[in-house]
Chain A
C-alpha cells in the first residue's frame, strides 16, 4: 500500500530544490534591477562642488571670492523618530513651514525619491550651520551639503559682475550639455554669466560605502571611480577697483554712467552704473526677497546703463562730424563758417570760427553747415537722391568709430545704439521723400542718433589712439598666468586718416583749456583733452550732462565718458566727474576738493 511513496517524497524534495534554482536564476542572473538597487543601498554618491573662480582687479586685488554656505538635504527613507517640534526649534521654522517643506519635497515631479538626498533647506549661512551642527545627529536622514556662495570685498561693481543664483527650470531644460543639475548655481548676468564656462569649474564625485544607518564604511573600490572637483578659473580684469569705487562714490544719488578705458589696450578701468546696488544682496538665502526688491525699484538699479542705456550723444558727436567732413574733404581745418543762429540756436559769444574754434565753442550752426556740405555734395541733381548718397557715406564713417552696433564687450545685453541709414529714414518717413532739411539735427548729435556710454568712452579712446580702438573688455586674462585674450588684441581702425585726429586732439585740448570745459575739466599737472555735451531733454526735465575726455594728451592712459541724466550742461556735472576720475587714476586722488564737493553736494537742478 505504501509502494512508490518513498519516490514521491524524494521527487518532492528534488523539485523544491529545482524551483529554488530556477527562481534564483531569475533574480540573480537575468534581472539586473537588484544589482542597481544594491548599489543604491550601499553606495553613497557625494558631490563635491567646485570652487567658483575668483575675480581680481588690474592690480590683482580680490573683487569676488567664495564663502561657505550649507544646504540641508533629506533622505526621506532614512527619516526615523522625527521630532517635528524639536526640528522646528532647532531650525527656526514654524510648524506650518515645516509641513509645507515636506509637501514641497514630496511633490517634486520626476525628481522625488525617498532613497536619494533631496534639497530641504538651502543656503544656510555659516552662523546657521554652527548653530545646528551639533543637533544634526538628532535627525537621522538629514545631511549637510557644503557649497560656496559669492562674497564681495566691497559693495561695488554690481552690474558688471552680475550675480549667481540657482539654475531655473527653463535654463535646465534648455541645457544640452547636461552639465547642470537641479539646484546648481549658475551665473545670471554680467561677468558671472559671460564667463560662466570658465568660472564654474568641474564637479567632483566621491562614492562611499555606507551601512543601513547611513554610516560611512570607507570608499567604494578604493576610490577608483571618484573624481576630484576642479576649481573654476580665476579671472583677471582690467578694472581698477579703487577708481571704480571712487566713480560710484561720485555718482551716488545720480542716474547715469561712467566708463573709463585704457586706450592702449581697450581694458575697461571702471564701469559705473548709477544707481547701483550692493552685490552681496543677491547672495545667500535672502536672494529671492532681495531680488524682488531690487528689480521692482523704480530707479532700476539692475539696468546696466553703460551698456544698455541708449542716449542721444549731443555735442560730443561734433568731433566725429568734424573728422568725417575732413575725410570727405568738404572742409579744411581752416574753414570758417558764420554762426548763423537762424535755423539752429547756439550759445556763447562767437561769430565766425574755424574748425577748432567751432569745436571749442561747440558751435551748432557750424556743424549744421558742415553736415549739409557732406550730405549735399551735388553728386546728384535731385536733392533727395543727393542726400541719400551723402548719408550713406556719412553713416559708413560714423559707424567706423564703433557707433551704431555692439562693440562686443565681454558682458551680456550690450545694446547697439543707432546711427541712421537711408533705409532707416525710409521707414521713419514711410517712403515719403526726405532730404537734409528733414534730418539736420543729427549734425549736432541730436535727432535719431543713439549711442550707449561704452561707445562714447570707446570714441574717446579712439581719438586718444589717433584713429583706432581695441574692443573694450573687462577680463584681460583667464588664470593667474593667462595670456591676453586674442579677440581683444586686434586694432579696429576708423575710416578716417590718422592725420585728421591730430586736429581733433588739438580742438579737444582747446575745449578744456579755453572753451566750454575749461573751468572744471582742466588739470594743473596733465593736459586733458575733452568735449562737453548737453543733450536736450523734455522740459521741465533738465538736459543730460555729457563729457568725454582722455589724458594725458600724448601717450594717453585713460579715456572716459561720463553721462549724468537730468543734470544740465556737460561742463558742469559730467566734466567735473570726468576730471576727478582722471585725477584719481593718474595721481591717486584729487587736489581740488572744491570740485569733489561740487559734484557731491550740488543737486544740478
Chain B
C-alpha cells in the first residue's frame, strides 16, 4: 500500500499546478462576479458564492487525497458498476429530483444539491475506456462501435429527458476519443456537415431553396464528370440523403426541439434576433467582455457582471468577469492556460502503456475541451447559449468535484503507468 500511495515523485505536477492556478483564479473571479462594493464583504463569506466555492475547493482536496489513496485498479475494475449506478440515478431523477433553472437534474442533499449528470461524465469516461481497453477490442468491428455508441447515448438520452440539453451534448465529445482510437473520420465529417446543414436550415426560411441548390450542384457535378451509371446513381443517392436530412432537421426544429433551445439556435445564426429577449444573455455577455478593453477594468471594478446585467455571472458566464475586469490580457492568460492544460493531458494520455489509461486520458481531454470550447464560445457569441460550466472557473460543487475526479483519476493512473503490463 505504501508504494501505492507515495506517488508524489511520480505525480504530474505540471497538471496539478495548472489545476491549482485555474481553481484559484476561478475562485477570485467568482468573488468579483458577485462583489458588492457597498456591502463590505469578505471573499470567505459563506453567504456568498465565493465562500461556498472555497468549501467546495476544500472538499475537492479531500476527494483528491481519496483518489490517490485508493488502488489504481479500483477504477477500471468497478467502471461498469459505477456506470450502472449512475444510470439508475439518472433514471430516478425525474421521480425524486428537484428542478433548478428549468432543468430537473438535481438531487437534494440538505441545502446543497448534487447533479448526477455531472458525475455521469467521468463515469461514462471510465466505462468507455474499460470497454475499449478490454482484450480483443477492435475499433473496426461494427458490434464494438455499436456498444460504444450505446454507452454514450444512454446517459445522453437520460440527461436530455431532464431537459439538460447542455450537459447531454457533452457526451458527443467522446467522438474525439473514438476518432483517436481508429474510428473512421467519416462519422465526424458527416456530423460536422449535418451541423452545417442544420444551421442552413435555420437561416434559410424555405428549405426548397436548399433542395434547389443541392439539385443544381448535383446536375453540374454529373455534367462535368464521367457519365457512368454507378457514379450518377451514387451522387443522386447522396443528394437525396441530403435533402431528406434537411427535411428531418426542419421537422425536428419545428416540432421536437424545446422552444427555448430553438430560439437559442435561431439567436445564434441571427445576431439581430430579439436582442432584448432570447439574445439578452449573449448581448450582455458580449458587452461585459467587450467593455474590458485591452487590460480590463481591474479586479472588482467591473460593472456589468456584479450589477447583474450578465445573468448567471458566477456559473456559466464566469468568463465575462474575466473578460471585463482583466481585458484581453486576462482572456489571453486563461485561454493559454486551458490550451496548455489540454495539450498536457494529451501528452499524458499518449505516454500511457495500456489502452484503458490512454483512452481515459483522451476522454478527459475531450470532455475538458468540449466544455472550454462551448462555454467560452457562447459567452463571445460563437455558439448558442447552452448551459455548461467552464471547468474549474464556474461556481458549483458538483461540477468542480466532477472535473476534479475526472482529472485526478487520470493523474493517479499516470503515476502508476510504469507498473502496468502492456496490454496493447
Contacts and interface: CB of A to CB of B under 8 A. Distances in A.
Interface of A: 1-2, 5-6, 9-10, 13-14, 16-17, 19-21, 23-25, 27-29, 31, 33-35, 37-39, 41-43, 77, 114, 209-213, 217-218
B376 A20 contact: yes
B373 A16 contact: yes
Contacts of B294: 28-29
Contacts of B292: 28
Interface of B: 36-38, 176, 179-182, 276, 284, 286-294, 303-304, 306-309, 323-324, 327-328, 331-332, 335-336, 338-339, 342-343, 346, 350, 362, 365, 369, 372-373, 376-377, 380, 382
A348 B36 CA distance: 94
A20 B180 contact: no
A482 B419 CA distance: 99
B346 A10 contact: yes
B308 to A, nearest CB: 4
Interface centre among B179, B286, B294 (most CB of A within 10 A): B286
Contacts of B369: 13, 16
Contacts of A14: 339, 343
A24 B289 contact: yes
A6 B287 contact: no
Contact of B180 (A5, A39, A212): A5
The 10 residue pairs across chains A and B that have the minimum distance between CB atoms: A34-B290, A38-B291, A211-B307, A42-B303, A17-B339, A27-B290, A212-B308, A28-B328, A35-B291, A13-B342
A13 B290 contact: no
Contacts of B377: 20
A5 B303 contact: no
A16 B332 CA distance: 13
A41 B339 CA distance: 33
A38 B321 CA distance: 13
A77 B309 CA distance: 13
6 contacts: A20-B376, A21-B332, A29-B294, A29-B328, A114-B276, A211-B308
B199 to A, nearest CB: 17
B290 A217 contact: no
Nearest to B329: A28
Interface of B is mostly: helix
Nearest to A212: B308
Which of A16, A38, A209 has its CB near the most chain B CB atoms (within 10 A)? Answer: A38
Given A6-B180, A6-B346, A9-B180, A41 B304 contact: yes
A243 B336 CA distance: 85
A2 B38 contact: no
Given A14-B339, A77-B276, A34 B287 contact: yes
B309 A41 contact: yes
Contacts of B339: 13-14, 16-17
Contacts of A1: 182
B307 A212 contact: yes
A27 B179 contact: no
Contacts of A212: 307-309
Contacts of B284: 41
Nearest to B296: A28
B293 A35 contact: yes
Nearest to B311: A212
A21 B335 contact: yes
A587 B380 CA distance: 84
A17 B339 CA distance: 6
A487 B376 CA distance: 71
B286 A27 contact: yes
B328 A25 contact: yes
A567 B355 CA distance: 120
A172 B377 CA distance: 47
Contacts of A16: 339, 369, 372-373
B342 A27 contact: no
A21 B380 CA distance: 10
A246 B181 CA distance: 107
